[in-house]
Chain A
């Protein structure tokens, strides 16, 4: 960094002015970037000469740091691009291998669950709910489409009937619905789920056992793997008629209520693997990246205006790019997972 001679710094200090100060409205609007160009230049003109107002404006930044914009000139071969390129290549390779693996061997519960686990871990929700898990439950189910969105609560037909093994489910559900959006330990949730899955696996495998088929699926290689496999299944989602969010880890066989720390009534959701966006009344917008274990409240703001209308429609092509539709037909667009928004 080039140093300035002392004489220049002294004159910079000597030519500061202290006639009047900016009012808090202008300073806050400047910090929030909600001034028009002319007013912004006027404010900048004042700040250039007033150390008092500069000091105040520096304290006005919210605690959460704003991500610095990327430099305008960046070559495709820079390290961040290459790093993500390598990761993407690995994901594709693993996905291809596991798909090939699945199609070449007889369908067995433990192996299908393990491959689904690998898919979920490595593909980071780029793959829809695997069909294998649905077939284990005995119910064929189409994978959740990408950018799935519904303006109304899901029709009851989409909701699979509750499983008969309700005891294990009941053991699980209170643990979730009793928590207001706080994190739930997977070890509290999974055991019930894993028991249920194992029970179904045993049931489905008995005829095969009698036929002398492989016993590998009936005897889980490790209980930890089973728990993780069950937990890592991307869930199915639905909204009940009263706007309550529900999810299913077993392709719709059983459903559990997911509580959020919000009194809002939810109208629409968009799920993409482990990621889910949820929109509701009065601009309520929530986001989860781990199948609803943790939720983040997102408050869209565009040009200083916050979203306060009901969100009645949403469409996300991936976790970063999405469009919200409000009750007054406004469109709110994000391209960076909700960090910034544009209103159209």
Chain B
């Protein structure tokens, strides 16, 4: 017991010394942040990212990986310190607008985005007398610029989705939407054995493999974009996709075989999908009729795929 007490004291001293060193490195004093305040922030970070029983070594490793100067700056800004805000504006004001124009592309949207984020960062709202600044949630795991970029991307996607849900009734009436009969969803029957075998095979994939497949086939990312995220060469992603496609086919066919299908049945079930044979009757009818004299463009394809 005495031994663990001594060890605990030594560990506490080491931690306190590390926190003091980090406080010096963070230049928190320049931004009006006290050492106790800084220690409290580190505790908050530890609580968020480490389990309660994390060892001293894990705690020190986490602390040393943080961007402490930016963390001190952001947290001082969140409390309304003028010196901190001066420093923040000098370093990040231009970058905010640059990031917004990169994300939103269009100048009016990017300006709107940057201004709304700036207001959230400054903390124009209050709750219980306390200023609500988004900067209070910055934890220093990545750079402050990267964090600003992520926050802005989040806000942009959220606002884009909100706008998409809003429809104009007048525009819909003009297009005759309200007079269009609802098209019943086509009946899709997929063999449950195929669903089970596919789910089984997908569950065996590693996180990185699944990420590559989802990015390419669901998100329509390019090989270059995926390669950049994973920090590998584009050709590596191309080879990986080929290998994964072949491996999945093999596993699913094996799974279907275990579920009582013959090889031919399994191949047919896998390659032929009723959704690929879906025919839009309206499209076919419109496609075979003569187009109006003022409409040079023909209708779309008769069948999918």
Question: Which A residues fall within an 8 A CB radius of B?
Answer: 1-13, 15-16, 23-36, 39, 41, 44-45, 47-49, 51-52, 54-63, 65-66, 68-71, 303-306, 308
Contact = CB atoms under 8 A, between A and B. Distances in A.
Contacts of B157: 52, 55-56, 59
Contacts of B151: 24
A55 B140 contact: no
16 contacts: A4-B213, A5-B270, A6-B276, A12-B214, A16-B214, A25-B140, A26-B141, A28-B143, A30-B142, A32-B146, A34-B142, A36-B65, A48-B205, A56-B150, A58-B219, A303-B65
A59 B103 contact: yes
Contacts of B140: 25
B210 A48 contact: yes
Contacts of B242: 1-2
Contacts of A33: 231
Interface in B118-139: 137-139
Nearest to B61: A36
Nearest to B304: A6
A36 B215 CA distance: 23
A308 B67 CA distance: 12
B21 interface: no
A27 B143 CA distance: 11
Interface residues of B, number: 67
A319 to B, nearest CB: 25
B275 A305 contact: no
Contacts of A5: 249, 270-271, 273
B219 A60 contact: no
B141 A35 contact: yes
B150 A24 contact: yes
Given A31-B146, A44-B207, A7 B270 contact: yes
Contacts of B149: 28, 59-60, 62
Nearest to B150: A24
A5 B249 CA distance: 9
Given A58-B225, A69-B232, A34 B241 contact: no
B263 interface: no
A16 B221 CA distance: 17
B198 A8 contact: yes
B85 interface: no
A279 B173 CA distance: 66
B214 A51 contact: yes
B190 A28 contact: no
B171 interface: no
Interface string B146-182: 1101110110110000000000000000000000000
B231 A69 contact: yes
B141 A54 contact: no
B224 interface: yes
Contacts of B269: 7
Given A15-B199, A51-B218, A66-B228, A71 B233 contact: yes
Given A5-B249, A7-B194, A304-B65, 5 more contacts: A12-B214, A28-B146, A44-B211, A48-B205, A66-B228
A329 to B, nearest CB: 15
B84 interface: no
